[in-house]
Amino acid sequence: MSNDQIITLAHGAGGEVMQQLIDKLFLKAFNDKPLRQKEDQARIPLAELHAKGDRLAFTTDSYVVSPLFFPGGDIGKLAVCGTLNDLAVGGAQPLYLSAGFIIEEGLSLTLLEEIVYSMAKTAKEQGVSIITGDTKVVERGMADKLFINTTGVGVIPQSIQLSAANARPGDKILVSGFIGDHGATVMLARDNLGLHSDLQSDCAALYPLINQLLLQHTHDIRCIRDVTRGGIGGVLSEIAQASNITIELDEVALPVRSQTRGICELLGLDPLFLANEGLAVFVVDHQHAETVLQLMQQHPLGQHAQIVGEVTAFSINHLHLKTRYGARRIVNVPYGLQLPRIC
């Protein structure tokens, strides 16, 4: 396909042009047997799933990031990692993905190719197959360049029982790395701030780290959640609510890069509510927290992991922050988007 081609409504109209797009781009890039068979559905042998565990994990997510490319990733990599992470934090081994594309007419075919191959590469690295998909093209102005939906299927081994409702007083809260990297990077990539930094999105698939930790600490890890849009603050508030406990964070222990902190201070944003795309929080039995932390720090995906807080009381669903001066304040989840302050 030539470089100057663009996506037109014909690419989604079900005719020859659409077939060409499917054959020459999607089938070639994803190159999976069920996909190549071109049935209306992918068929997954049950026996193969059953051998891996006793529960199917099934999740879906849509990706609408702008810009499509940002330091550390692109919408394709994000669409694969995000859904795989949703499976992995439940203890599931991710196995299959679907990929649905909603494309605004006029999108460069070269860009689409780059994104699709980025998805294929990320899935392959994780040993996951993209086995079914869909393409729609909408008129200009009806979508912002490209939206991707991915649905993931995985299997949870019998021994693993993770839940946001499992946190108990005394448990420690661990994060696997720096908070807010993705949110800060994308804000800068939008290029209306006039700021520059060497920040990169943390966009990554976390299964390799989670699997290694769960293999050795199946029962010491009570809950894992990946940190996305609502930031670490959003995720921990959900855990506090689900377990009916209070979580107290230690401001000094929170891993925040100085660039991220600088951007937040300039705009009046709270890094606790900035997005990540390759970060997880773990609630761990306090007796094993240090061992889990050390193991995490030895893994490339958890080098900057820290113990950032603990579960402090029963029956109140709050998130607290102990400031560096020893004061305590409630951390309230913002109503919607964080809005930059005027001064």
Task: Give the footprint of another protein on this chain (CB under 8 A).
Answer: 192-193, 258, 261-262, 265, 267-268, 316, 318, 323-332, 334-336, 339-343
Name which of 107, 142, 101 is nearest 119 in CA terms: 101
CB of 313 to another protein, least distance (A): 11
CB of 201 to another protein, least distance (A): 21
> Measured in Å, how far apart are the chain's first and last C-alpha atoms?
50
Nearer to another protein, 45 or 194 (CB): 194
Q: What are the tokens at 176?
A: 């696997």
Give CA–CA dist 188/134, Å, rounded: 32
Nearer to another protein, 178 or 207 (CB): 178
CB of 332 to another protein, least distance (A): 5
Q: How many residues does the chain have?
A: 343
CB of 223 to another protein, least distance (A): 22
Give CA–CA dist 57/306, Å, rounded: 28
Nearer to another protein, 6 or 339 (CB): 339
CB of 193 to another protein, least distance (A): 6
CB of 281 to another protein, least distance (A): 21
Are the beta carbons of 311 and 169 closer than 8 angstroms?
yes
Per DSSP bridges, beta strands 280-284 and 172-175 are antiparallel
Give CA–CA dist 102/306, Å, rounded: 39
Nearer to another protein, 204 or 236 (CB): 236
Give CA–CA dist 259/283, Å, rounded: 27
Are the beta carbons of 279 and 208 closer than 8 angstroms?
no
- Find tokens 């929170």 and name the residue: 254
Helices (H) and strands (E) counted in the chain, each on its own, are 11, 13
Q: What are the tokens at 89?
A: 């934090």
CA angle 57, 61, 62 (to 5 degrees): 160
In terms of C-beta density within 10 A (0-12 exposed, 13-18 middle, 19 or more buried), how is residue 146 classed? buried
CB of 283 to another protein, least distance (A): 21
What lies within 8 Å, CB to CB, of 120 at 6+ separation is 29, 30, 31, 130
Nearer to another protein, 66 or 323 (CB): 323
Radius of gyration of the chain (CA): 21
| Enclosing H/E stretch for 153 | strand 146-156
Nearer to another protein, 51 or 337 (CB): 337
CB of 269 to another protein, least distance (A): 9
Nearer to another protein, 80 or 249 (CB): 249
Nearer to another protein, 47 or 330 (CB): 330
Q: CA dist 128 to 11, 83, 276, Å?
A: 27, 11, 22
Nearer to another protein, 136 or 322 (CB): 322
CB of 89 to another protein, least distance (A): 26
